[in-house]
Amino acid sequence: MSFSAFRILAEALTGHGGWKPMWREPEPQARYDIVIIGGGGHGLATAYYLAKEHGLTNIAVVEKGWLGSGNIGRNTTIIRSNYMLPGNEPFYELSMRLWEGLEQDFNYNAMVSQRGVLNLCHSDAQRDAYVRRGNAMIMAGADAELLDTDGVRAMYPFLDFANARFPVKGGLLQRRGGTARHDAVAWGYARGADMRGVDILQNCEVTGFLIEDGQCNGVETTRGTIRAGKVASCAAGSSSRVLEKAGLRLPIESHVLQAFVSEGLKPVIDGVITFGAGHFYISQSDKGGLVFGGDIDGYNSYAQRGNLPVIEDVCEGGMALMPAIGRARLLRAWGGVMDMSMDGSPIIDRTPVNNLFINAGWCYGGFKATPASGWCYAHLLATGKPHPVAAQMRLDRFERGLAIDEKGAGPQPNLH
């Protein structure tokens, strides 16, 4: 079933009886060529690109809950490629380019909106750092613009420019950045993978691995044993718990990140703004709600709910940046579990167990990475070789001293 204006018109005139479920509910088969653990954005994108780009369709995506119940349906939907280090920036720029063609590619409306992402700076030193980052972005083929205070004021006059403690000195703008509808991304990839023959198995939790002579030959699940030529973990915040069952201890800590949505307001913010003197980022959804977030909770947790001190911290950031937000009422808040790596950068690699692969360490920035993560993980699984833009995202980089420490925060997952 493909979507088009003609199709919508035809269905409208015939009582909408022709729409079909967007993916099947198949029973698990005894064996697949590849089993992907996790029906989040990255698992589904991997299955989609394996089928579409590499012609591999004997694949199952096993999801312990319902499709999109994890972070793919919980994030604040920001997409951007404003990284600096060579181990990261080309990867995120590939992702940005895939976002730009995604809706045509998988024939689904994911509401990709390149409304611009503006990182504010509040000191001369921070502006220097943004100049450096902007230059690195441009060298990797991305777009970047440095704005002065007046440039920021012209875009967002309601910000607190007179704030003596955090004066707005300018900002780094990526016009091609923006937002996308998070769960539509999961649905679009799921539909595209299913159409090509991939089995999506919901309510199917992986409870163990079939490891024989150092080789992974499948998984134990709540719906029975499934044998596989390759097993690819894509479990985001649960990565350490899942791969512990294969005897692996990961360089990852899990922390909760919360998101907040205000009551619906008239259009006021037409892009994404991030505060540079604290951790606060905000955009406005098409329904009018202000969508915002900030730091992770400081302690480790696998609970999908957060705590009050972080809510207070996030709201303080909001008030310092745009005092008018104090008049808006908060409508909803929720939490998701982040797979925080030791250097804040992701891992797409083999593991020490033969035929067992890992995709993890996305921290709180994995939504924007979804297309490139699926693309590069599919490349690794299909060809056995890392994709060039993900070549530094190795699992053993921490013991080899090859960290990709974008923030310069050191081996402190909660600070990245």
Position among 206, 243, 310, 342 found at the interface with ligand FAD (CB under 6 A): 206
Position among 32, 34, 48, 71 found at the interface with ligand FAD (CB under 6 A): 71
In 51-203, beta strands by DSSP E: 59-62, 78-79, 117-121, 145-147, 170-174, 178-179, 199-201
Distance CA(34)–CA(42), nearest Å, equals 15
Which of these ranges, 28-36, 95-103, 228-236, 397-405, lies near ligand FAD under the rule CB under 6 A? 228-236
Element spanning 96, H or E: helix 89-106
Under rule CB under 6 A, residue 242 binds ligand FAD: yes
Under rule CB under 6 A, residue 92 binds ligand FAD: no
Under rule CB under 6 A, residue 39 binds ligand FAD: yes
Beta bridge partners of 121: 170
Distance CA(109)–CA(180), nearest Å, equals 10
Position among 32, 92, 166, 367 found at the interface with ligand FAD (CB under 6 A): 367
Upper half-sphere CA count for residue 285 (Cβ side, 13 Å): 15
Site string for ligand FAD, 287-306 (x = CB under 6 A): ------x-------------
Q: In the complex with ligand FAD, which residue's Cβ is closer, 38 or 413? A: 38
Site string for ligand FAD, 332-361 (x = CB under 6 A): ----x-------------------------
- Closest residue to bound ligand FAD by CB: 40
Burial group, residue 14, by CB count within 10 angstroms (0-12, 13-18, 19+):
exposed
Q: State residue 294 phi and psi, 5-degree precision.
A: -155, -125
User: Cβ 176 to ligand FAD, closest distance in Å?
Assistant: 15
Beta bridge partners of 179: 78, 113
Q: Report which residue type is found at 33.
A: D
Position among 47, 50, 56, 62 found at the interface with ligand FAD (CB under 6 A): 62
User: Cβ 40 to ligand FAD, closest distance in Å?
Assistant: 2
Which of these ranges, 47-55, 192-200, 253-261, 312-320, lies near ligand FAD under the rule CB under 6 A? 253-261
Position among 127, 230, 368, 416 found at the interface with ligand FAD (CB under 6 A): 368
Q: In the complex with ligand FAD, which residue's Cβ is closer, 169 or 200? A: 200
Distance CA(361)–CA(340), nearest Å, equals 5
| Residues in CB range of 203: below 8 A, 6 or more apart | 63, 64, 65, 66, 222, 223
Distances from the Cα of 99 to the Cαs of 81, 347, 378, 385, in angstroms? 11, 21, 17, 24
User: Cβ 337 to ligand FAD, closest distance in Å?
Assistant: 7
Q: Report which residue type is found at 146.
A: L
Positions in the binding site for ligand FAD (CB under 6 A)? 37-43, 62-65, 69-72, 74-78, 205-206, 234-238, 242, 257-259, 293, 336, 362, 364-368
